[in-house]
Structure 1
């Protein structure tokens, strides 16, 4: 059986995505969640935020997703690091997750990281 060329997106909170993070490297496959702050139809760039952390998302490959500022979205894609050390997620999947309890989501992420550390 051949292995898949596309890796699953590692669950990462936006506040944990910074230059010293293990996830902050070229081509890392990530799954991120945040509230849409801005969206440009011309550039297909969205900016999502979670607390004080934010991330640019390139949505050029996403179809049939209506972007609404203030809604919560989850994206899976590959991280691209530009020469100025700015990160942009090249999204391959996106979905609206309005109704998700972000506090409970962060709590489950913490528990998942604890479990993985103990394995």
Structure 2
């Protein structure tokens, strides 16, 4: 039986080529505001600050609304020209969540884990 890796918590701004998370097949958990969605290709684009990420949602049964906050867990696929697409296996609506507070909490968690 194959095991599925848990998604590493990352901010969209961290998904750049020098990052250890920017590798083909890395399991990630990302959160952002839905900027656009193409029904025909099932590709969503989420944004957080100045960063954006394409998300393949073809295997999800999710009501995607532009402007809503979503969290996705899946594997990062790198295509030519270092474009990244997250092939989502899990997605959920996170409306009501304060993204600034979420980023602060993530940093506190990392600081705590680094101190252990």
Q: TM-score range by the shorter chain?
A: over 0.9
SS of the residue aligned with 2:6? Answer: coil
Partner of 1:15: 13
Q: What is the 5 A alignment of 1:1-119?
A: 5-63=3-61, 65-119=62-116
Unaligned runs of 5+ in 1: none
Q: 2-side partners of 1:11 and 1:86: how far apart?
A: 20
RMSD over equivalenced CA pairs, Å: 1.0
State the aligned residue count.
Answer: 116
Runs of 4+ in 1 over 6 A off after TM superposition: none
Offset of residue 83 of structure 1: 2.0
TM-score normalised according to structure 1 size: 0.94
Offset of residue 115 of structure 1: 1.4
Offset of residue 117 of structure 1: 1.7
Unaligned runs of 5+ in 2: none
Q: Deviations over 1:34-74 (max 9, x none)?
A: 000000000000000001100000001101x1111000000
